[in-house]
Amino acid sequence: MNRRTRDTRTARDARTGTHDARAHTRRTRTRARGALAALAAALLLGSCTQNATSAPPGPAPSAVSPLPATAPTPQGLLLTADFGADTVTFVDPERGAVASVPVGRAPYALAVGADGRAWVATAEGVAVVDTRTRVRVALIPHRTGTGPVTDGEYRGGGMGIALSPDGARAYVGVNVPGTTGVLEVIDTAGREVTAVVPVGRRPFDVDVSADGAEVYVTGHDSFDVTVVAADSLQPRRIEVAPYGTEGGLGSWLKPHYAVVRPADGKLLLPFEGERLAVVDPRTGRTAIEPMTADTHQHGVAVTADGRLLVVGTGAVQPGDGRGPSLTVRSPGGAERVYPLQGPHEDVAVSRDGRTAYVTGGYTRDGHWNGITVVDLDTGAARRLAAGARPLGIAVL
């Protein structure tokens, strides 16, 4: 186990039962920087740590060449949520940005239904965009008070978002600064919030089971996944903390994004390029499998054939882990780790399963305005200017 640690107590939890020389060396190194880590944790209230080096500059932003207003949006374009521009951007995977639509303040994530409508989580509410005509047709305000509408990593408002399989409901995780978050349930036909369910702190991600019976909300700052029954809306908390929780809000070792494994409906949550938490939402039990990237990890996606894609943002301490990467993990656990240039946040997969699109927005410093296109067979990567600090992404 090559766990690099941020504080001594978390190191003990992370390595229960492991007593090798490397563990002793790293605990010694951690004590030496303990005071600095504690101060950083208090100031940042447990955010993911900032990269020590900024990302290399991306390609120069290119002018958006609008699609003809009367032409429908071609299938296969990408749609990004532009956290830095209050827009969503339509992106041609070959040419870059082709059109943008204003949606609301600081859009974080999005989900696209079979009807071509995108549901976009913003600080103001959930925007509804007709992707075929490229028009925002509604903005549904949050029912929950989240304070002033602002930008930035800690802003209140919508974060993770998902649609039920039949498209009848949208589920958005709403961050309420300073306290626990909520899941707001939206009737997509009536375009209104119909229910509010308490969940964990800073709900980075929302996922739905294949049959639509359960909703899973990943609470970044509460080390958990909240399982919500779609019929009764009763919540049930599952702690997901393979490194322990003693660091509290000051810990970097928290869950970020999850994906539902097609084969058995279990949840997959990667940690630090070292551990994959496999959560059974029925029993609440978590199994841990080893990973190999040795990098702080954020966004995930799964292909139709069961491959797991995981975005690595880079080492959280200088010299303490590897750089940004994209891990491609087979259903059997074999991994290929492709290096990326600079931090990224989320990932989507082409319809044929051969190409990954990784957003350069990143929730911390080091973001850039574009996406990286990765050939999943060879690892060859190229960067496209697209949007402004794009986080969420979907293939149309």
CATH number of the CATH domain containing 271:
2.130.10.10
Residues 339 and 232 in one domain: yes
Joined together, the tokens standing for residue 125 give 């509410």
Q: What is the pTM of this model?
A: 0.86
| Domain boundaries, position 257 | 45-50+65-395
Q: Which amino acid is at 191?
A: R
Residues 84 and 23 in one domain: no
Domain count, the chain: 2
Instruction: Tell me if 254 is assigned to some domain.
Output: yes
Instruction: Tell me if 59 is assigned to some domain.
Output: no
- pLDDT, tens digit only, all 396 positions of the chain: 444 444 333 333 333 333 333 333 333 333 333 433 333 333 333 444 433 334 444 444 444 556 665 567 778 899 999 999 999 999 999 999 999 999 999 999 999 999 999 999 999 999 999 999 999 999 999 999 999 999 999 999 999 999 999 999 999 999 999 999 999 999 999 999 999 999 999 999 999 999 999 999 999 999 999 999 999 999 999 999 999 999 888 888 999 999 999 999 999 999 999 999 999 999 999 999 999 999 999 999 999 999 999 999 999 888 889 999 999 999 999 999 999 999 999 999 999 999 999 999 998 888 999 999 999 999 999 999 999 999 999 999
pLDDT value of position 67: 64
Instruction: Tell me if 291 is assigned to some domain.
Output: yes
367 φ, ψ to 5°?
A: -70, 160
Distance CA 297, CA 299 (A): 7
Residues 144 and 15 in one domain: no
118-155 burial, b for 16+ CB within 10 Å, e for fewer?
Answer: bbbbbbbbbbbbbbeebebeeebebbbebeebeeeeeb
Joined together, the tokens standing for residue 186 give 């939206």
Residues 12 and 161 in one domain: no
39 φ, ψ to 5°?
A: -65, -45
Distant-in-sequence, close-in-space partners of 328: CB < 8 Å, separation ≥ 6: 307, 308, 309, 335, 336, 337, 338, 356, 376
Instruction: Tell me if 315 is assigned to some domain.
Output: yes
pLDDT value of position 96: 95
Residues 24 and 84 in one domain: no
Residues 74 and 19 in one domain: no
Residues 36 and 172 in one domain: no
Residue of 44, 52, 367 whose CA lies nearest to 221: 44
Residues 131 and 178 in one domain: yes
Residues 93 and 163 in one domain: yes
Residues 76 and 28 in one domain: no
Instruction: Tell me if 355 is assigned to some domain.
Output: yes
2 φ, ψ to 5°?
A: -115, 35
Joined together, the tokens standing for residue 152 give 């930035």
Residues 20 and 121 in one domain: no
pLDDT value of position 117: 98
Instruction: Tell me if 57 is assigned to some domain.
Output: no
pLDDT value of position 318: 82
Distance CA 6, CA 26 (A): 10
Instruction: Tell me if 135 is assigned to some domain.
Output: yes
Instruction: Tell me if 33 is assigned to some domain.
Output: yes
Residues 28 and 174 in one domain: no
pLDDT value of position 66: 60
